[in-house]
Structure 1
Amino acid sequence: MTANPPVIVGVDGSPAAFGAVRWAADEALLMGRPLLIVHAVELHGPYGRIVDEHGIAVDAATEIRHWQPGLDVTTATWHGEPARVLVEHSRHASLVVVGSRGSGGFRSLLVGSVGVHLAGYAHCPVLVVHHAERWAGPESLLPRHRPIVVGADGSSAGEHALGLAFAEAAARSVPLTAVRTWHEPEHRRGRSTTSADIGEITARELEADLEPWRAEYPDVPVRAHVAHGPSVPVLLDEARDALMIVLGSRGRGGFQSLAPGSVAQQVLEHSAAPVLVARQG
């Protein structure tokens, strides 16, 4: 990886893609990274068409340079399936950003689409910006003062998600809400442990996981939220007024995978807020 790996954003000429570009530029500025705008073209005709298509990435770069003149912006247009092109570029990136609506490869978050594919296979964190067309116009202000929500399940992937969430919250000067859910065991040996006990144990475990991050980021206000029941409705409810929601790509319990029907995939498909998936290379 390069000394200062870029934030990469995929474009396809749609308003949603340009909304994702604005989010990517914002992330690049906050984290002190350059921005690389990538357009992937699945050619079905003469190869010369790729030259014409490069205008999509160039036009996006021109708009972003007007919006943020101090940002280092470059472009690239590649022949290939968008998901595969972006996964390959993610090997040398700090973050990959895509919109959840658009034409071509960025149309949806159905299984196999670009967003889900990246969330499962990228070599760096992935930010999926839902309904990104909301931020396509220069008059549309990106959210600034909303909290960040992170799913903290106690796994190594959840720990990576906590690190990303704290870094985002610190860079944006916003509060952080850490969510952990618990389920009552179906079969309990004896009755010495009550539901209240399990809830208290879960809360203590979450506080212990948060402690080193609180010490590293003392200026980030943190709220720990422990809930009994399924993870998806809790996370989606917290995300209603959130700036973004951060999840590990693998873990235990509710955040274990990106398989169909998993919590991570359901959150990706249904969250109103952008979702940052803490992929690791």
Structure 2
Amino acid sequence: MTTSRHPVIVGVDPSPAAFGAVRWAADEAVRRGEPLHVVHALEVHGPLEEVPDQHGPAIDAATEIRRWQPGLQVTTATWHGEPARVLIEQSRGAGLVVVGSRGSGGFHALLVGSVGVHLAAHAHCPVLVVHHAERWAGPESPLPHREPVVVGADGSNDAELGLRLAFEEAAVRGVPVHAVRTWHEPEHRWGRSSDPAGLAAAAERALATDLEPWRSRYPTVAVRARVEHCPSAPGLLDAGRGALMIVVGARGRGGFPGVRLGAVTHQVLHHADAPVLVARHG
């Protein structure tokens, strides 16, 4: 496929959204200094199998990419297999997988398709789901480049990876990071009252602690710490309005053991307008 240790993978089909995702993927590959691998799956049930393809979405996408980014190394592959299975397998050893939120199939009322959800839950690397990617299907539509990167920071392992990815993205783009932590009053028993001021102060201290090493590593990145008294998903969605992208961990604190995609991430994937970068470990 490629000699790089961490290529950017992008899944394509004949839809305009796929070409918008391709533009995001090419931009990410250039910023990372990595090659881009364009993958098309033919929706054939059965064993995964790579097949020759002289004409098709992957070839078409690669042709356009070479016009947009003539110095970028681009390879292509076409596979027999369900798209989610193919891309999950291709994600092994990759640095990032990029898809449009909806491809050429599925229900038009759904904001994010099954491929994006399955990738976010099962890929072996971070996943960028580009919502409404048809907005950037042609080079006449510039990609966002001044808006902040919004990241959820709840102290979980995946959120720590999310902070790293958010600061990396912000640093190479020269934009600020808006870090969001939410808190809520727990359910009480036996009539005991809560301490909202104490809970808010604790959340502020925890967020400051989580951000400190990344502020030190990326001193040129402007940071806004935002602590909200609300459920996590609405807080992130509100902060992410007009953002360049929203970065979330695949799983946050709490939840059931074995669940690969947390409820907050699931809601953000389904309701965000901005691209969503799901931070997950291999």
TM-score by length of 1: 0.90
Shift in Å at residue 106 of structure 1?
10
Aligned in 2, Cα 1:105/1:279: closer, same or farther, shift over 3 Å? farther
Judge conservation of contact 2:17–2:133 (CA < 8 Å) in 1.
Answer: yes
Look up the SS of the partner of 1:225 in the other structure: strand
The corresponding residue for 2:48 is none
Judge conservation of contact 2:102–2:113 (CA < 8 Å) in 1.
Answer: no
Aligned in 2, Cα 1:189/1:34: closer, same or farther, shift over 3 Å? farther
Amino acid at match of 1:202: A
The corresponding residue for 1:36 is 37
The corresponding residue for 1:220 is 221
What is the distance in 2 between the residues matched to 1:243 and 1:111? 18
Shift in Å at residue 253 of structure 1?
4.9
**Is residue 2:208 matched to residue 1:183?**
no
Q: Structure 2 matches for 1:112-127, cutoff 5 A?
A: 113-127=114-128
The corresponding residue for 1:199 is 200
Shift in Å at residue 12 of structure 1?
0.4
Look up the SS of the partner of 1:265 in the other structure: helix
What is the distance in 1 between the residues matched to 2:160 and 2:151? 10
**Aligned alpha-carbon RMSD (Å):** 2.6
Aligned in 2, Cα 1:2/1:99: closer, same or farther, shift over 3 Å? same
Look up the SS of the partner of 1:200 in the other structure: helix
Look up the SS of the partner of 2:56 in the other structure: helix
Shift in Å at residue 52 of structure 1?
5.4
What is the distance in 1 between the residues matched to 2:216 and 2:21? 32
The corresponding residue for 1:153 is 154
Structure 2 residue runs of 5 or longer lacking an equivalent are: 46-50
Shift in Å at residue 229 of structure 1?
1.4
Look up the SS of the partner of 2:79 in the other structure: strand
The corresponding residue for 1:279 is 280
Aligned in 2, Cα 1:15/1:179: closer, same or farther, shift over 3 Å? same
Equivalent residue pairs, number: 275
Aligned in 2, Cα 1:133/1:111: closer, same or farther, shift over 3 Å? closer
Aligned in 2, Cα 1:194/1:28: closer, same or farther, shift over 3 Å? same
The corresponding residue for 1:47 is none
Judge conservation of contact 1:148–1:165 (CA < 8 Å) in 2.
Answer: yes
Q: Identity of aligned pairs, percent? A: 69
What is the distance in 2 between the residues matched to 1:111 and 1:147? 22
What is the distance in 1 between the residues matched to 2:79 and 2:150? 35
What is the distance in 2 between the residues matched to 1:109 and 1:203? 35
Aligned in 2, Cα 1:253/1:235: closer, same or farther, shift over 3 Å? farther
**Is residue 2:63 matched to residue 1:68?**
no
Look up the SS of the partner of 2:26 in the other structure: helix
Aligned in 2, Cα 1:228/1:2: closer, same or farther, shift over 3 Å? farther
TM-score by length of 2: 0.90
Shift in Å at residue 57 of structure 1?
0.6
What is the distance in 2 between the residues matched to 1:106 and 1:127? 21
Shift in Å at residue 101 of structure 1?
2.2
The superposition leaves residues 36-61 of structure 1 with CA deviations (integer Å, 9 ceiling, x where unpaired) of: 000001238xxxxx655752111110
What is the distance in 2 between the residues matched to 1:36 and 1:95? 10
Structure 1 residue runs of 5 or longer lacking an equivalent are: 45-49
What is the distance in 1 between the residues matched to 2:213 and 2:189? 33
What is the distance in 1 between the residues matched to 2:227 and 2:181? 5
